[in-house]
Amino acid sequence: MNREECSHWRALTATLGYVFQDHRLLMNACTHRSFTNENPSAPYSDNERLEFLGDAVLQLCISDELMNRFPAYTEGQLSKMRAAVVNEQSLANLARKFGLGECLLLGKGEESSGGREKSSLLADAFEAVIAAVFLDGGYERASVLIRNLFAQLITEGSGAGPHFQDYKSALQEYCQNRFHETPRYLLQSESGPDHDKTFVVEIQIAGMMETTGVGKSRKEAEQQVAKKAWDFFTAAAEP
């Protein structure tokens, strides 16, 4: 680890307001698979297992917070709000706010392709950091951190603001009410190297609409094509 990497990680922990007892957990959270592939003797593993755990911790903590803050909301309302608050873009934005991209250990290919700014990569790393806090300090510490980090997002998301619109959820509810069926998302293509893939997803709605969306992850492509369909139907409904 060089001096610059140390300074980035110190800045990250200071911004998060959490001091790790086991710094190896933070190192693992910041290590992308491309780095371990190119450096098999590196002392850290990649962050994919931590990402898996961090996603579950985030879902649990945010669900608990939403139930406490909105006791009158139904399961459907809570699910939509959680999806609006915890998604790739919101996690990536938080990662950028804390300078997480500068802390990442990336392979040369990922580095040269702008990996430090990729939303999918930043969101995954953010989930890994959440898992690292959970493993290092336990559920209560992770829960407090998550509540603080997401307080503003929850407040804004509860108003269904357009920046936090989960188009897949909104479109699904619309299609169920109007067509009595849900949209179908079909992966049309997946191209490019591992560090810079492009996904094309087609949406099919009630036999009356087919269009495609493109993204750097399948989730991003699905949200993009859902937005196109949502914009089409809402525009058609305007007088």
Is 55 annotated as catalytic? yes
- What is the rounded CA–CA span in Å between residue 37 and residue 77? 42
CB 28 within 8 A of CB 45: yes
Which of these is catalytic: 55, 65, 88, 124? 55
Contacts of 94 (CB under 8 A, 6+ apart): 126, 149
- 3-state secondary structure (DSSP) of residue 229: helix
Block residue for tokens 């269904």: 160
Neighbours of 148 (CB within 10 A): 11
Q: What is the four-CA torsion angle of 100, 104, 109, 111, rounded to 10 degrees?
A: 50
Spell out the residues 6+ positions from residue 69 whose beta carbon is closer than 8 angstroms to its own: 154
Q: Which two tokens stand for residue 59?
A: 């879902």
Cα separation, 204 vs 211, in Å, equals 7
Of 46, 51, 110, 127, catalytic: 127
46 given a catalytic annotation: no
Angle at 57 between CA 91 and CA 15, to 5 degrees: 50
| Residues catalogued as catalytic | 55, 127
